[in-house]
Amino acid sequence: MKRKVIIDCDPGIDDFLALLLALNSDELEVLGITIVGGNVDLKTCGENALKALKFTNSLHIPVYLGSDAPLQKKLENAENVHGEDGLGNTNIPNVQDGILKNGVVDFIVDTLNKEKDVSIISLAPLTNIAKALMKDKKAFENLSEFVSMGGTFKECGNCTPTSEFNYYIDPHAANYVFNNLVNKVHMIGLDVTNKVVLTPNMIEFIKQIDGELSKTVVDITKFYGDFYWKADKVLGSVVNDPLAVAYFIDREICNGFECYTDIVTEGIAEGMCIVDKNNLWNKTHNSIILDEVDDKRFFRMFIKAILKDKALEVEKYIKLLEL
């Protein structure tokens, strides 16, 4: 049985890669893609989501534009990481016959009220999710699972010393979701995403196998790789968002622990995750913090999905990557 999901995202290079993984996965039925301003402005994120749908022949899947700004803060985008166009300044043409709908909160709430066993995979600031939860908390009692790429437990932040981008951009939304969602938040934070680096070797493999998506993936990850070399002397690019999708599909990819987590909303540590791993506050567990990852298992899934049209060659040569 395919698992029904709504993917909330801000494409962004790694969101785009995550969408390619999700849309090429037989395990998922993507009911809709909801967009939030984050890496770049809202409309550009929406256009980029349509490009991912076009590349995977999935334009029947609806895309909804949501919040263009956080609940309280001003949006600070990440064009320095993702390029002005959100896809590494590759300037891939917009999808002419693509439709960007409005009404993201109603879409989320109506879907949860109408459909059974729907999950949400969030790859962005949690503004849309918080607004939908504020509108109809009861609808979320039907939610099957909630996975969020965001936050950090022991790793340094990537926006401030304490905070990761998605939760830093909208700490009020993150705090609201962690403290009001009935489900536990499966938090795929920097503790695991920093360990999944798409290396130049993997990019070369994707290029040489030459699948339908290869050129696009090679082109958009160039800018990303340049950023990670300049910023952290990482050789390759940290692919945060695809790991959240992969974990949703295959739980063996990450391991972690249950606990209560709160999110700092004000001051120098805004966006910081306060992870009560030792249960000192004795509060009801609202999160599963993933802090171990089988990176090879992840990349086997990710590369096979990207090169889905070249499955035979991938089977024959993927051992070259020693995954």
Q: Which is nearer to ligand RIB, 39 or 90 (CB)?
A: 39
State the minimum distance, in angstroms, from the CB of residue 86 to ligand RIB.
Answer: 9
Q: Which is nearer to Ca ion, 82 or 308 (CB)?
A: 82
State the minimum distance, in angstroms, from the CB of residue 9 to Ca ion.
Answer: 6
Q: Which is nearer to ligand RIB, 128 or 166 (CB)?
A: 166
Q: Which is nearer to ligand RIB, 36 or 305 (CB)?
A: 36
State the minimum distance, in angstroms, from the CB of residue 165 to ligand RIB.
Answer: 4
214 binds, among ligand RIB, Ca ion, none (CB under 5 to 8 A by kind): none
Q: Which is nearer to Ca ion, 49 or 139 (CB)?
A: 49
Query: Largest Cα–Cα distance of the chain, in whole Å?
Result: 54
State the minimum distance, in angstroms, from the CB of residue 194 to ligand RIB.
Answer: 10
Judged by CB under 5 A, which of 5, 8, 12, 209 binds Ca ion?
12
118 binds, among ligand RIB, Ca ion, none (CB under 5 to 8 A by kind): none
Residue 100 vs residues 32, 48, 289: alpha-carbon distances, Å: 11, 11, 33
**Applying CB under 5 A, does 15 fall inside the site for Ca ion?**
yes
State the minimum distance, in angstroms, from the CB of residue 236 to Ca ion.
Answer: 18
**Applying CB under 5 A, does 123 fall inside the site for Ca ion?**
yes
Q: Which is nearer to ligand RIB, 211 or 242 (CB)?
A: 242
State the minimum distance, in angstroms, from the CB of residue 200 to ligand RIB.
Answer: 21
**Applying CB under 5 A, does 170 fall inside the site for Ca ion?**
no
State the minimum distance, in angstroms, from the CB of residue 145 to Ca ion.
Answer: 19
Q: Which is nearer to ligand RIB, 38 or 211 (CB)?
A: 38
Q: Which is nearer to ligand RIB, 164 or 270 (CB)?
A: 164
Nearest CA to 244 among 12, 65, 14, 40?
Answer: 14
State the minimum distance, in angstroms, from the CB of residue 15 to ligand RIB.
Answer: 5
**Applying CB under 5 A, does 41 fall inside the site for Ca ion?**
no
User: Pairing relation of β-strands 197-198 and 237-238?
Assistant: antiparallel
**Binding stretches for ligand RIB (CB under 6 A):** 10, 12, 14-15, 38-39, 123-124, 149, 158, 164-166, 240-241
Structure tokens at 97: 């016959």
Spatial neighbors of 286 by CB under 8 A, at least 6 apart, are: 178, 179, 181, 184, 185, 260, 261
**Applying CB under 5 A, does 189 fall inside the site for Ca ion?**
no
**Applying CB under 5 A, does 238 fall inside the site for Ca ion?**
no
Binding residues vs Ca ion (CB under 5 A): 10, 12, 15, 123-124, 241
